[in-house]
Structure 1
Amino acid sequence: MYLLSPLLSKLFIKLKLEVSRKSWLLLTLPLSIIIHLAVQNITPMTKNFIDSNGHYVLKGAILIFFILGVKDIKYKKERE
C-alpha cells in the first residue's frame, strides 16, 4: 500500500481530496475488509470481523484505524 499510495493520491486529487501516505496505510485494513465483503471473498480476518459474538479487539482496532485514517483526509477547495 505504501508503494501504491502516490498513485491513489493522484487519483483522489482529481476528486478534490488530499489523502496522505499515512492515511493510506491506516486505511489499508478497513478498505480490505470492505473490498473482501464486496467481492464475497471471505478471508479469516473478514469472517472474524463480521462475527457478531466476539473478536472485539479486532473490531476495535479496525475502527481506530478507520477513524485515524479518515481524519487526515482534506477536501481541497478550488480558488477563484
Structure 2
Amino acid sequence: MYLLAPLLSKLFLKLRIDIPKTSWIYLTMPIAIISHVLVGNITPLTRDFINTGDHYTLKIVIIILLILGLKDMKLVRKVQ
C-alpha cells in the first residue's frame, strides 16, 4: 500500500480529495475488510470482525485505524 499511496493520492486529488500517504497506511486494514465483505471472500480476519459476540480488541483496533486514516483527509476547493 505504501508504494501505491502516491498514485492513489494523485487519483483522488482529481476527485478533489487530498489523502496523505500515512492515511493510506492506516486505511489498509479497514479497506481490506470492506472489500472482502463486498466480494464475499470471508477470511478469518473478516469473519472475526463481523462476529458480534467476540474479538472486541480487533474491532477497536480497526475502528482506531479508520479514524486515524480519515482524520487527515481534506476536500480541495477548485481555484478559479
TM-score, normalisation: structure 1: 0.98
Cα offset, 1:78, TM superposition: 1.1
Determine the structure 2 residue equivalent to 1:27: 27
Question: How far, CA to CA, are the matches of 1:22 and 1:10 in structure 2?
Answer: 14
TM-score, normalisation: structure 2: 0.98
Cα offset, 1:27, TM superposition: 0.2
Number of residue pairs matched by the alignment: 80
Q: Does 1:36 align with 2:36?
A: yes
Question: How far, CA to CA, are the matches of 1:49 and 1:59 in structure 2?
Answer: 6
Determine the structure 2 residue equivalent to 1:57: 57
Residue 22 of structure 2 aligns with an amino acid whose one-letter code is: K
Determine the structure 1 residue equivalent to 2:7: 7
Can you give the 5+ residue segments of structure 1 that lack an aligned partner in the other structure?
Answer: none
Question: How far, CA to CA, are the matches of 1:74 and 1:54 in structure 2?
Answer: 34
Cα displacement string for residues 3-59 of structure 1 (whole angstroms, at most 9, x for unaligned residues) = 000111111001000000100000000000000000000000000000010100000
For the aligned residue pairs, the C-alpha RMSD in angstroms reads 0.5
Q: Structure 1 residue runs of 4+, over 3 Å off?
A: none
Identity of aligned residues (%): 51
Question: How far, CA to CA, are the matches of 1:38 and 1:44 in structure 2?
Answer: 15
Residue 40 of structure 1 aligns with an amino acid whose one-letter code is: G
Can you give the 5+ residue segments of structure 2 that lack an aligned partner in the other structure?
Answer: none
